[in-house]
Amino acid sequence: MTEALPLLSVKNLEVNFAANDGTVKAVRNISFSINRGETLAIVGESGCGKSVTVQSIMGLLSSPPAEISASEITLNKQDIQSSTEINGKDIRGNEIGMIFQDPMTSLNPTMRIGSQVAETLLVHRGLSRKAAQLKAVELLDLVKIPEPEKRAKQYPFEFSGGMLQRAMIAMAIACEPKLLIADEPTTALDVTIQAEILELLKELQSSNGMSIILITHDLAVVAKMADRVLVMYAGKIVEEGSCEDIFYRSAHPYTVGLKSAMPRNQRGAHIDLTPIDGSPPDLYNPPVGCGYAPRCAQSMEICLSDQPSKFPILESHHSECWLHHADNPRKVDGLFYSTSKSGL
């Protein structure tokens, strides 16, 4: 049986930002893929490169100051690094949709909600204004906005935070994209509305088979939504695996640290959160070795001097940590190890 080709494939992606006092190395040689119908979560602290990664794929970074390079960025086996179109259609909006972090700043405050949803269809699908407006109402109904005909005539300030995010989702899925990128889609929402938005995304994915890249720092959201997870730190992917691998078989000290800092809801129990000591490295001058080494209680001499390899833990589960080298005799409590260690 042949392995299915991924929907999106990214290889050796690097993103730098030129500044007056140097160059910020925001994303440092990362590779990943996402399959059809899959949800891939990218997690990590603020500033680790999550949003920059997806913005570079979407072509949303201005050059200069951004400098983007990759050996491959393909969607459905077609190169999207050197072209903004596939089969004569703009990739953004048609093939890839995006939900931004703050809908209030992403929507035009002077345009009615229905007109903003319809604009996507006017630009990308060439519908008449009347047909686009009718479709916009259908989309608002699809994302469970009550009284969609009435709401389509209202302005963003008349919507609650949850309804604004639903309107953003309607815009993002208007052209039935194969890939939806959700950048912190529930950050500003209360827990009840957050759960409703996540459930809506799952329902939409189930109905049209789209893939989702979910950018978040909330591990509870990851546990609810993700099939696979990339853990990013200082512009690099330090661990990747299934959701079960990341939560129950963590193989990188940073992943363990993230879980320890996550609030847990256990009735009647007092559980202290354990913060990760120190700060992320300066990406003007990133470390020559492992970026996490200065904060890691388990760091060794080689961690400071050499970039770790990508060590296999289980099938499709990898960790960039020297603790998994075949010649390392130490086993750290709380870290999952492969039964067959590999060297360089």
C-alpha closest to that of 200 among 183, 186, 213, 187: 186
Q: What is the CATH number of the domain that holds 184?
A: 3.40.50.300
Q: Is a pLDDT exceeding 90 seen at residue 153?
A: yes
Q: Is a pLDDT exceeding 70 seen at residue 86?
A: no
Q: Which of 226, 255, 287 is the last residue before a domain boundary?
A: 226
Same domain membership, residue 175 and residue 32: yes
> To the nearest 5 percent, what fractions of the chain are helix, strand and coil?
35, 25, 45
Give the mean model confidence (pLDDT) for residues 157-173.
92
What confidence score (pLDDT) does residue 261 get?
82
Q: Which of 137-146, 259-268, 331-340 has the highest mean pLDDT?
A: 137-146
Same domain membership, residue 152 and residue 63: yes
Q: What is the pLDDT of residues 11-43, one digit of tens each?
A: 999 999 999 889 999 999 999 999 999 999 999
- Determine, yes or no, domain membership for 220: yes
Same domain membership, residue 251 and residue 189: no
Measured CA to CA, the distance from residue 319 to residue 237 in angstroms comes to 8
Same domain membership, residue 77 and residue 41: yes
Same domain membership, residue 255 and residue 174: no
DSSP state, residue 293? G
Q: What is the pLDDT of residues 87-111, one digit of tens each?
A: 556 778 888 999 988 888 889 999 9
Q: What is the pLDDT of residues 197-223, one digit of tens each?
A: 999 999 999 998 999 999 998 898 999
> How many domains does one find in the chain?
2
Q: Is a pLDDT exceeding 80 seen at residue 128?
A: yes
pLDDT bin (cut points 50, 70, 90) of residue 147 is very high
- Determine, yes or no, domain membership for 329: no
What confidence score (pLDDT) does residue 82 get?
78
* Alpha-carbon distances of 49 from 16, 63, 280, rounded to whole Å: 11, 17, 12
Give the mean model confidence (pLDDT) for residues 160-168.
91
Q: Is a pLDDT exceeding 50 seen at residue 344?
A: no
Residue 266: how many CB atoms within 10 A of its CB? 7
Burial 129-141 (b: 16+ CB within 10 A, else e): eeebbbbbbebbb
Residue with structure tokens 């999207």? Answer: 80
Question: Residue 221 is encoded by which pair of tokens?
Answer: 């959201």
Give the mean model confidence (pLDDT) for residues 113-121.
94
Give the mean model confidence (pLDDT) for residues 256-280.
78
What confidence score (pLDDT) does residue 246 get?
96
What confidence score (pLDDT) does residue 81 get?
85
What confidence score (pLDDT) does residue 275 get?
83
Share of the chain above pLDDT 90, in %: 68
- Determine, yes or no, domain membership for 242: no
Q: Is a pLDDT exceeding 50 seen at residue 2?
A: no
Residue 5: how many CB atoms within 10 A of its CB? 12
pLDDT bin (cut points 50, 70, 90) of residue 1 is very low
Measured CA to CA, the distance from residue 317 to residue 314 in angstroms comes to 5
Among positive and negative, which fits the CA dihedral 130, 91, 45, 264? positive
Same domain membership, residue 274 and residue 219: no
Q: 277: domain range?
A: 247-324
- Determine, yes or no, domain membership for 241: no
Same domain membership, residue 187 and residue 61: yes
Same domain membership, residue 203 and residue 109: yes
Identify the residue with better confidence: 339 or 158: 158
